[in-house]
Amino acid sequence: MFWTIVMEILILWVCYAAYMAVLVHRRGPIGGIFFYPQVMIDRVKALGLITEAEFRSRKRFAFTLLIAWMLVIPGVMILGINGARTYWDCCWQFYALFLGAEFFDWLFIDTIWVALSDWWLIPGTEDLNGTWHSPRVKQWKLLKLIPFSVPLAAAVGGLYWLIGRMM
């Protein structure tokens, strides 16, 4: 089971990378502006690089897609591939998959791609780089998610358990 979970986490990493590619492929860093601090969002809007309507639309699309894939794909893995049917199995497997995906987000997306590369820099906002463009800004993100993830895993695991009972 350990290696199955590891492989599933790697698949989630690929899904997460594809998700980010979908968000930023046409608009570059502006396509993911809702991930920036509010001061950056305000500046980008003031510069006319994105309208309020486009911002709301892109944010709604991004978070709907994120929630959908973070529920559907692990659900297929846990119930379909792993055959989990007990509440405990559904909870701990979601917890492991969620933290595995968040580790990818923290290390590769937030730290390496965002904080250590210049790809996400937006012209006209250079004076605000200290609010987000540093590994120190996100260094504790993953540790903060660990306790938050327990009730989330209990809730989502419960959902999967109910679905599994109907299968």
Q: What confidence score (pLDDT) does residue 130 get?
A: 84
Question: What is residue 140's three-state secondary structure?
Answer: coil
- Which phi and psi angles does 123 have, rounded to 5°? -55, 135
Top pLDDT among 95 and 118 is at 95
- Give the pLDDT score at 110: 86
Q: Any idea which of 70-74, 111-115, 129-133, 138-142 has the lowest mean pLDDT?
A: 138-142
Nearest-angstrom CA–CA distance, 156 and 12: 17
Percent of the chain with pLDDT over 70: 100
Whether the CB-CB separation of 109 and 120 falls below 8 Å is answered with: no
52 within 8 A of 133, measured Cβ to Cβ:
no
Q: Produce one character per residue of 30-64: b if its CB has 16 or more CB atoms within 10 Å, e if not.
A: bbbbbbbeeebbebbeeeebbeeeebeebeeebee
Report whether pLDDT(137) > 80.
Answer: no
pLDDT tens column, 25-82: 888 999 999 989 999 999 999 999 999 999 999 999 999 999 999 999 999 999 999 9
| Angle (CA) 65 26 108, round 5° | 65
Question: Which of the pair, 113 or 76, is modelled with greater confidence?
Answer: 76
**Is the model more confident about 142 or about 18?**
18
**Domains of the chain by residue range:** 2-166
Q: Say if residues 69 and 76 touch (Cβ distance below 8 Å).
A: no
Mean pLDDT of the chain: 92
